[in-house]
């Protein structure tokens, strides 16, 4: 029996445009060019996609859980139009001062994904745009891939000695994933 293949993605700055003021509504949730096509391409090649995302805007009172769900509904609807699908979304709703175990770079969301899907984290691709994404991936022996979209360029300028694969965007990272010899 062949193992299901997964790719993990951060959301803001990887799939959709990010903002220092937070993405607070479905209207503000705008996909990055090529990101939805990248997810659909992963699906077409047998990969399931799960999102692992800090959403501290909830804990900070910037938007509600219902609003977050509406943003995710929009993402799923737009993906369906491209024949793409996200299997699951794992998010941390806590503000940084709550010191939870799920906010990246902590590994709680990744571990929850692993338990719920009975899927090993070792060598799974995790695409993100921040140092916290990269640290969370490395802490569970996942394979971190950094994109320059979102906070990616800032992450690179503040951490010029990163020794991980770096891509312009999710579509370029997807091309790498599909041509890797992992599977």
Q: Provide the residue-wise pLDDT of the chain in tens; the chain has 183 residues.
A: 456 799 999 999 999 999 999 999 999 999 999 999 999 999 999 999 999 999 999 999 999 999 999 999 999 999 999 999 999 999 999 999 999 999 999 999 999 999 999 999 999 999 999 999 999 999 999 999 999 999 999 999 999 999 999 999 999 999 999 998 654
The question of whether 10 is a catalytic residue gets the answer yes
Q: Out of 10, 18, 133, 172, which one is annotated catalytic?
A: 10
Rounded CA-CA distance 38/34 in Å is 6
The question of whether 33 is a catalytic residue gets the answer no
Fold of 5-179: Rossmann fold (3.40.50)
Rounded CA-CA distance 114/84 in Å is 22
Q: 145: part of which helix (H) or strand (E)?
A: strand 143-147
Rounded CA-CA distance 90/33 in Å is 23
C-alpha closest to that of 167 among 141, 134, 122? 134
Q: Model pTM?
A: 0.95
């Amino acid at each position: 029996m062949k193992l299901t293949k997964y790719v993990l993605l951060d959301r803001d700055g990887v799939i959709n445009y990010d903002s220092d003021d937070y993405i607070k509504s479905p209207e503000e949730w705008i996909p990055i060019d090529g990101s939805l096509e990248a997810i659909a391409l992963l699906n077409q090649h047998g990969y399931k996609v799960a999102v692992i995302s800090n959403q501290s805007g909830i804990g900070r009172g910037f938007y509600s859980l219902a609003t977050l769900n509406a943003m995710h509904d929009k993402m799923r609807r737009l993906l369906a139009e491209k024949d793409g699908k996200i299997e699951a979304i794992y998010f941390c709703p806590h503000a940084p001062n709550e010191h939870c175990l799920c906010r990246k770079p902590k590994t709680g969301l990744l571990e929850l994904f692993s338990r719920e899907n009975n899927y090993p984290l070792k060598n799974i691709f995790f695409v993100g745009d921040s140092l916290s994404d990269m640290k969370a991936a490395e802490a569970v022996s996942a394979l971190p891939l950094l994109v320059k979209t979102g906070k990616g360029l800032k992450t690179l300028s503040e951490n010029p000695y990163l020794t991980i694969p770096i891509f312009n965007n999710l579509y370029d990272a997807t091309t790498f994933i599909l041509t890797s010899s992992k599977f």
